[in-house]
Structure 1
Amino acid sequence: MALLFRWLVTLATALICLVVAALVLAYYFFERSLPDYNAASTVTGITAPVEIVRDNANVPHIFGETDADVFFALGYAHAQDRLWQMTLNRRAAQGRLAELFGASEIQTDVLIRRLDIYGHAVASVAAQNEDTTIALNAYSDGVNAWLNEVNAGARGRGAPEMWLFNHPISPWEPADSLAILKLMALTLTSQAQNEVLRARTSLILDNNDRLRDIMPDDPTSGIAALPEFAALVPNVPDYMPNMRMAYDPLSPIKPPMLAGASNAWAANAARSASGATLLANDPHLGLTAPTIWYLARLELSSGGVIGGTIPGMPLVLTGRSDALGWGLTSANVDDQDILIEEVNPQNPDEYRDIDGWKPFRTRDSIISVKGGAAITIKLRWTINGPVLPPDQLDLGTITPPGHVTALAWSALTDKDTSMSAAIGIMRSSTVDEAIYAGRDFIAPSQNLTLADRNRIALKTIGALPARDEAHQSKGRYPSFGYLPENRWRGRFPYIDNPEFINPTGGILGNTNNKIVDREFPLHVSYNWGDTQRIYRWRRLMQARSVHTRDSFIEAQQDTVSFAARSILTLMGADLWFTGDAALQGTPERRRQTALDLLSAWNGEMNEHLPEPLIYAAWVREFQKRLIRDELGPLASEFTHANPVFIERVFRDIDGASVWCDVIQSASVETCTDIARQALDDALIWITENHGPAIEAVRWGDAHQATHDHPVLGQAPLLHWFVNIRQSTSGGDHTLQRGLTSGTGLQPFQNVHSAGYRGVYDFADPDSSVFITATGQSGHPLSRYYDNLGELWRRGEYIPMSLDPDLARAAAVGVSVLRPAR
């Protein structure tokens, strides 16, 4: 027995030693890909030495003798810190994810191939102006210089993920940068999905007023009633299964609620305490680890610029120079239409055109699949756009037999000059120059908020599709593509894009709200991204006669929900301070406790309070009870409580209170009945998930920011190292927006928020501040992987200076690139 024991001890010791050795070896190989920020390198592609000075937040400040050399160094720095992120995004834009990840990514690849995003990017390289062409080429050379160093210097394949998903990395090309911008455009639009959902919902509801309830127009809009979708496109099958696949973190197609948002506002000198303009911007995108954003400073011939870049693109997308600040918010332009195309029953290779049958334009495309056989798909186009399969975007649920669907989208052009426009904006020094530069921007549509030293402005940039006034659905439903009135007629002139320059009130801004009230077809959109945050923003802006950098920061960090304050007064109108005395622990007592807490609450979605969780769970359960009997399985598509819908129901606008009556029951339920039942549902859910002590629950425990690695975030053990989770304040409708997932076992996780925040004061530009959600490095072993995350969570910022001496004073490293002779 003693001998056996000794053998077991020896074996266990050997196994432990092997595991430790394997971990040490893995760490050694992974650590090899960490860049040395103090290294000097000799590279091909620059004309003179370039310095990359990394300040104490690891933000690179790049100094070179020519702009081309500076863009070269930006590509080099991006590749050093975010090589995996860049190559993954390029693969997504090319439709080549299945090569790395297998069959799970086939559907995403099929969609991207059918849209031909990369093909349009390749063709658009020739459409760029000279400055942009130089920047794209130099940037590509810089990325490839780092790839050469990785290959020559055994630098751990460039990123730790490369050891797990090893595949050759092709050289970076200018088209790759354009493709990533197009991929961003796809991520930021949800117009096609909204069209399909509206059509599916209209086929279930037999009353147009009920459709306006559940998918309401903006309350300030004067939109006229529309014909029902079923009248436009008859013969759609009665049974419409939900065809949507599980959410894929690698797919650029996001659910409509996650398709992009943002805040930006500006004050002119008259409304600024400093006597100079102010600008704040915080773009909202899906949270990932690392964040989408990468901070950088470029010293160009036109002057220094600093702010948020996206690895893969040679520009500061949002930021400031000494003379100009610029910020972006999603404009929600209706830039997509679903066209239903009739297929020739005698020849499936033809579709109906205006003047008869016409052959589809076709091309074969081969998708390689890891661990499986390659797939060949036939890409098809009509004159309206690419044909999409019925299993994409739920299109099969609204397509009648004998038809297919095509997508018209402004980004599907071979002459996309958006990159040239964005670089032109970055180089501008006045509001007028930036607005002029924006004329060539195509997609994604954005509201460009500007502030120079004297003036402020807001201009919508991006193509506005020119629809016919007689369009059957005004772009709100899928419509027949062979009818001339449903086809686009190019784009409206840039002068028709909404524009506001130096308003007399001295303040302007956008929270993705409706910015113009114009008749179709110059309406811009019917689907605006915000109907709630704008009210809180307006109150904060009007509460002060003048603003400061700090008051703009306070507005960015504001967590009071206008929606909560307005909805609770309706939901609890007949419940406050009512009910008989009840024993501790009974449902009635728990309901009274919850109502007592909410009655004294000011609507602040603070992570440390119980009230935000009670409110969020209550409105979620209330909407579920309202719609599930009318919509059936389709109710699962409405993942987030809509304050406008709930207000319509309680105020009985156009008879909307009928939603409160349960169709399947014999009795007639009131909205108060449903509100009481929904509150009990919410309290049961909270008890099961967060414990029975209602007063002790925390919103932040449910509202965790999920900075998850898109590939390794679900891997056993590894997710503890690569994911960043944080308790956060805010919510779906607060200025400090933390959009909840709305689905799954943790529906209140914060999955979509401001990955970048910047506030610029042109009285003292170097007092400007900024922050990102994680850190500069994409390497989990780097101390800069999450070094900014805790500051971001606490609402803190770091200085944003263009002073080179300040950058050098606390530099964590100075890299020198020298030209090869």
Structure 2
Amino acid sequence: MKPIGNSTGPRRFLRPILWTLATVLLIVLAITLSYLYLAQSNPSGKRVIKSLGDGVVITFDEADIPHIKANSQSDALFALGYLHATERSWQMEMNRRIASGRLSEILGSETVSIDRFIRTLGVKHAAEQQFDKYPVTAKRLLQAYADGVNAGNTQLGWVLPVEYYLTGSKPGHWSPTDSVAWMLMMAYDLGGNWHKELQRLELSQFLTTKQIWEVMPPFEVGEPVTNMDFAKIYQDLKVFNPKAGPINSRSKNLPATELSHVDLMGGKDGVGSNNWALSGKLTASGKPLLANDPHLGLSAPAIWYFAHLDAPGLNVLGATLPGIPAVVLGRTDKFAWSFTNTNPDVQDLYIEQIDEKNPGMYRGPDGLLPFKVRQEIIDIKGAPPLHFIVKETRHGPVISDSYARAKRAIDTSRYALALRWTALDIENQSVAGLLEINRAKDIDAFKQALRKNYAPMQNVVMADSDGNIAYQAAGIAPKRLLHQGLYGVAPAPGWEKQYDWNGYVPFEQLPASNNPEQGWIATANQRIIATNDPNPLTADWDLSARYDRIVDLIKARNSHDADYMKTMQADTVSLGATPLLELFKSSAPTHPLAAQALEISKDFNGDMQIDSAAALIFNAWADQLTRNLFSRLSYLFSENYGERNYRGALIAQVQNPNSPWCDNAKTDAIETCLESSNDAFNKALDYISNQYGNDPKKWSWGKAHIAISEHRPLSKIPVLGKLFNIETPFPGDSNSINVGRLELLRSNNPYQTLQAPSLRAIYDFSDLEKSLFIYQAGQSGWVQSKLYRNMNPLWAKNEYLPLQMKPETSKRTLELNNK
């Protein structure tokens, strides 16, 4: 009898399917292995590049710094462009698309508002006009760099960084104007005063000018720089949109860092930098020491790429920005320099009155003027293109058509908001200035080259082998007179000439210092004032907490060495916390964990150490107290809390135990600041216990304060975000020298940090070959490379790598030849 059914039938059917699956898996495996083998994540050997002028030899030292040896400066910058492209191709592609407003071509509708705003500013258009005015020598060097970038991308062939495959894109053509445009984006990222002006305009709908100064106080003791009642001006003009309300224009799928300008906000509170120089009379060696740690968004890959350029008339080592053909921060064999942001007010908003009978005209000082208009088209992946008109006034581009918060704030049927910004000036030649800086033979020539820096304005602290230390504010800032007009603190009526800029501060009148008697120079975004000009460069300085702490540490001893510079850069005492400690410790919370929390916190001195439970308790308390005082501002608080940390306002208000801001308007009683503090303490303990358990002995600041280097744009995508992002527990807070700015309402974890020291460098003039550096990621932009994140553990622990022009050993060599 034959068996029922035939067992060989299913097997016969499955066998070819299994063979097909196995074949596909083998092909995928072969392609993956070939990709990993061929990917130029650690380039070495020889490459033939026809467009290269002469042969270039690149050796990589133990820290993976490339040492580019070339026979001409053009070839050196060609090689730098080549390395930027082969090591950081995806990063450069994103830089290019951000600056030209072309993200949506590969990322879709999520980024349309970003592209529209950047197109409205006209960043790429301004870059093209500025480049036309560049000296011929600078144009040639920029072209050589661009040729190197394009050659590097071509060399990659089909083996591109994985981000290209995930987005279905390829590297685009890099032009010299892309470098100029990226420099403009860096200037935007470091100058966000216009957003503070917009916030004061928004607050004027509900508060008096006096109350606005309480919420956004001047960061120095004394009267505000203007006495004008700007809130009344806006009320009288009826500029407000009567239907204003909360909006949610921020994508939850995009990273917050290095796309910070894409969030359309620059100049965040607590994002700045530190630098200081000590003369030989304060050092153990008798020679200067110079330290620098710029605070920028943490990104993966990092914003910086270290390199050494060696060619006739050029010998410079330090941090480069992929996209820009120069060492931005670094040293020669004779001098070194460092930057912090001066934070001048170089952006003003103007309220332009639209003619009711002809919306194509607006009110000028002497009558009606036509808007300048141009059409823009944004191609959008997966959607029809967007056509829109950009308008400009005599002050600059109209942003209220493209930025949701500006559009919400005003009655756009009657008014427009235009932006005046120095960086868009056709005279801006900042990249040419960087090229001259790199060629400077000595510190005097370096200072001369600083005259070409236009935007962003920087506090430049320098030192040289001859024992000199010096300071120079370098950049362009409008002339302003104290207590005259609005001083740039709030949007001005555009038809009144009194609010127009009246030229720029001459270079000779900018703050400067040479070999001061005290033997040291330090800057940390605090108020900078020139001895021969009493007018501050802005009304919106940062709190001086980091600067004050630097000064305290310098004065704490008579003799300093490189190890003490490391100690200073690692310091986590927050002078932005100490004014609040008395109220914090006098609180009487009723939470079940209150007694333990108070016992843990009784000796807390504001030191935000990574293993400190008291630091976690304090920061959660300060967060909740800030919300108690200022959340009555509704969406105007929630939308800004994170960009603005309100620490200056909080400190000012709790000095008065009965400040009306401490009262809870939702109750019939009138609460004091101590009662508000008690409530904040209870809320803080609720939050901490819910997140980190009910045993305060197991709490620590590092569990909450996580430094995250976000990848763009994959950081928010499940699984991929974990692969591409770099995370580590981190000490400090928004006001410590070792800064770790809190995200607050901008994140599910309010105490994580996305802005911290983007690099640390120490230059020791007893022997410049003993100089040191570190940053938070690695030299490679290829996620599968061990050099993608290898520096992160060192950075988190304040350890360093050597920054040498003549390293004793090298790991690999790459030769570029034209035949």
Pairwise TM-score range, normalised by the shorter structure = over 0.9
The 10-residue stretch of structure 1 (446-455 or 632-641) with the greater mean CA deviation from structure 2:
632-641
Length, aligned pairs only: 799
Is residue 38 from structure 1 mapped to residue 44 from structure 2 by the alignment?
yes
Structure 1 counterpart of 2:361: 350
Change over 3 Å in CA distance of 1:190–1:8 after alignment to 2: farther
Alignment of 1:557-636 (within 5 A): 557-573=570-586, 575=588, 588-631=591-634, 634-636=637-639
Change over 3 Å in CA distance of 1:663–1:630 after alignment to 2: farther
Partner Cα separation in structure 2 for residue 70 and residue 470 of structure 1 = 50
Is residue 772 from structure 1 mapped to residue 775 from structure 2 by the alignment?
yes
Cα pair 1:290 1:785 within 8 Å, conserved: yes
Partner Cα separation in structure 2 for residue 391 and residue 243 of structure 1 = 14
Is residue 120 from structure 1 mapped to residue 120 from structure 2 by the alignment?
no
- The amino acid across from 2:141 in the alignment is A
Partner secondary structure for residue 362 of structure 1 = strand
Cα pair 2:56 2:71 within 8 Å, conserved: yes
The 10-residue stretch of structure 1 (718-727 or 641-650) with the greater mean CA deviation from structure 2:
641-650
The 10-residue stretch of structure 1 (718-727 or 549-558) with the greater mean CA deviation from structure 2:
718-727
Cα pair 1:620 1:641 within 8 Å, conserved: no
- 2:425 corresponds to which of 406, 413, 421: 413
Cα pair 1:289 1:774 within 8 Å, conserved: yes
Shift of 1:131: 4.0
Cα pair 1:296 1:308 within 8 Å, conserved: yes
Is residue 336 from structure 1 mapped to residue 347 from structure 2 by the alignment?
yes
Structure 2 counterpart of 1:48: 54
- 2:786 corresponds to which of 779, 783, 799: 783
Cα pair 2:509 2:533 within 8 Å, conserved: no
Structure 1 counterpart of 2:476: 463
Partner Cα separation in structure 2 for residue 470 and residue 642 of structure 1 = 24
- 1:297 corresponds to which of 308, 315, 328: 308
Change over 3 Å in CA distance of 1:700–1:5 after alignment to 2: farther
Shift of 1:520: 9.6
Cα pair 1:258 1:752 within 8 Å, conserved: no
Structure 2 counterpart of 1:231: 232
Superimposed CA distance per residue, residues 391-442 of structure 1 (whole angstroms, 9 cap, x where no aligned partner) = 5162124324401111000011223111121222222243332222111211
Alignment of 1:118-517 (within 5 A): 118-150=124-156, 154-156=157-159, 158-206=160-208, 208-224=209-225, 226-234=227-235, 235=238, 236-243=240-247, 245-247=249-251, 248-249=254-255, 250=259, 252=261, 253-254=264-265, 256-257=267-268, 260-390=271-401, 392=403, 394-400=405-411, 401-453=413-465, 454-467=467-480, 472-516=485-529
Partner Cα separation in structure 1 for residue 221 and residue 770 of structure 2 = 38
Structure 1 counterpart of 2:673: 671
Partner secondary structure for residue 291 of structure 2 = strand
Superimposed CA distance per residue, residues 3-37 of structure 1 (whole angstroms, 9 cap, x where no aligned partner) = 79989998899879866864663454365332452
Partner Cα separation in structure 2 for residue 603 and residue 5 of structure 1 = 72
Is residue 817 from structure 1 mapped to residue 816 from structure 2 by the alignment?
yes
Change over 3 Å in CA distance of 1:589–1:148 after alignment to 2: closer
Partner secondary structure for residue 435 of structure 1 = helix
The 10-residue stretch of structure 1 (237-246 or 396-405) with the greater mean CA deviation from structure 2:
237-246
Change over 3 Å in CA distance of 1:414–1:656 after alignment to 2: farther
Change over 3 Å in CA distance of 1:32–1:86 after alignment to 2: same
Cα pair 1:187 1:259 within 8 Å, conserved: no
Shift of 1:574: 5.3
Superimposed CA distance per residue, residues 353-383 of structure 1 (whole angstroms, 9 cap, x where no aligned partner) = 1111111111111110000101111111111
Shift of 1:138: 1.4
Cα pair 2:481 2:535 within 8 Å, conserved: no
- The amino acid across from 2:415 in the alignment is H
Cα pair 2:574 2:606 within 8 Å, conserved: yes
Superimposed CA distance per residue, residues 103-141 of structure 1 (whole angstroms, 9 cap, x where no aligned partner) = 111100011111111111112123223442232121112
Partner Cα separation in structure 2 for residue 29 and residue 416 of structure 1 = 43
Partner Cα separation in structure 1 for residue 558 and residue 737 of structure 2 = 20
Alignment of 1:544-555 (within 5 A): 544-555=557-568
- The amino acid across from 1:280 in the alignment is A
The 10-residue stretch of structure 1 (621-630 or 672-681) with the greater mean CA deviation from structure 2:
621-630
Partner secondary structure for residue 387 of structure 1 = coil
Change over 3 Å in CA distance of 1:430–1:720 after alignment to 2: same
TM-score by length of 2: 0.93
Partner Cα separation in structure 1 for residue 759 and residue 427 of structure 2 = 30
Change over 3 Å in CA distance of 1:641–1:336 after alignment to 2: closer
- The amino acid across from 1:444 in the alignment is P
- The amino acid across from 2:629 in the alignment is L
Cα pair 1:33 1:160 within 8 Å, conserved: no
Cα pair 1:258 1:286 within 8 Å, conserved: no
- The amino acid across from 1:316 in the alignment is V
- The amino acid across from 1:815 in the alignment is L
Partner Cα separation in structure 2 for residue 288 and residue 672 of structure 1 = 40
- The amino acid across from 1:147 in the alignment is N
Partner Cα separation in structure 1 for residue 579 and residue 507 of structure 2 = 38
- The amino acid across from 1:161 in the alignment is E
Cα pair 2:288 2:463 within 8 Å, conserved: yes
Partner Cα separation in structure 2 for residue 641 and residue 116 of structure 1 = 30
Partner Cα separation in structure 2 for residue 7 and residue 645 of structure 1 = 77
| Aligned-pair identity (%) | 29
Partner Cα separation in structure 1 for residue 13 and residue 268 of structure 2 = 57
Cα pair 2:73 2:313 within 8 Å, conserved: no
Partner Cα separation in structure 2 for residue 475 and residue 683 of structure 1 = 41
The 10-residue stretch of structure 1 (36-45 or 117-126) with the greater mean CA deviation from structure 2:
36-45
- The amino acid across from 1:776 in the alignment is Q
Partner secondary structure for residue 183 of structure 2 = helix
Is residue 110 from structure 1 mapped to residue 116 from structure 2 by the alignment?
yes
Cα pair 2:430 2:452 within 8 Å, conserved: yes
Superimposed CA distance per residue, residues 624-662 of structure 1 (whole angstroms, 9 cap, x where no aligned partner) = 01122355653442336433322222222xx97111112
- 1:717 corresponds to which of 692, 716, 719: 719
Cα pair 1:771 1:798 within 8 Å, conserved: yes
- The amino acid across from 1:532 in the alignment is A
What do you get for the CA RMSD once the two structures are aligned?
A: 2.6
Partner Cα separation in structure 1 for residue 41 and residue 686 of structure 2 = 51
TM-score by length of 1: 0.92
The 10-residue stretch of structure 1 (452-461 or 299-308) with the greater mean CA deviation from structure 2:
299-308
Shift of 1:739: 0.9
- 1:84 corresponds to which of 86, 90, 98: 90
The 10-residue stretch of structure 1 (131-140 or 269-278) with the greater mean CA deviation from structure 2:
131-140
The 10-residue stretch of structure 1 (218-227 or 736-745) with the greater mean CA deviation from structure 2:
218-227
Superimposed CA distance per residue, residues 301-328 of structure 1 (whole angstroms, 9 cap, x where no aligned partner) = 3352111100111111001111111111
Superimposed CA distance per residue, residues 593-620 of structure 1 (whole angstroms, 9 cap, x where no aligned partner) = 1111111223221112211111110000
